Amino acid sequence: MTRRSTRPSDKATGGKSAAQRRKVPTRKCLACQEMRPKRDLVRVVRRLDGGTQVDPGGKASGRGAYVCPNSPCLSRVLKGRLLEKALECELSPEVRERLALGAEGPVTRG
């Protein structure tokens, strides 16, 4: 009698072991509250000096908040002052302008 394995088959896991599969980090958009992959969202950071900036690489130190890069989410975040509440500070005019431009078109990473 052969013993059946309880682990998933290689076909189901794409032929990769647990050590080879990478978990995709997810974050929640402030506007729509939808969980999305971190790389698909725009990160706004409150720096240690109190200023704010758009963080294209997602690595800047400071308190961060994430927003979907689509027009409804960007305009809702700016109109409802959701970023100010999440970051507990005022947005700089440069960040506000960049996000407002993103509401009209895509926000570029970089």
Give residue 67's pLDDT: 97
Whole-structure pTM value: 0.76
Give residue 20's pLDDT: 73
What pLDDT band is residue 4 in, cutting at 50, 70 and 90? low
CATH H-level superfamily of 26-104: YlxR-like (3.30.1230.10)
Contacts of 103 (CB under 8 A, 6+ apart): 71, 74, 75, 78
The answer to whether 102 and 42 have CB atoms below 8 angstroms apart is yes
Tokens 């996000």 belong to residue: 99
pLDDT tens digits, one per residue of 5-60? 565 555 555 666 666 788 999 999 999 999 999 999 999 999 999 999 999 888 99
What pLDDT band is residue 89 in, cutting at 50, 70 and 90? very high
| Counts for the chain of helices (H) and strands (E), in that order | 3, 5
Give residue 18's pLDDT: 64
Give residue 81's pLDDT: 93
Q: How far is CA 5 from CA 1, 39, 56, in A?
A: 13, 36, 44
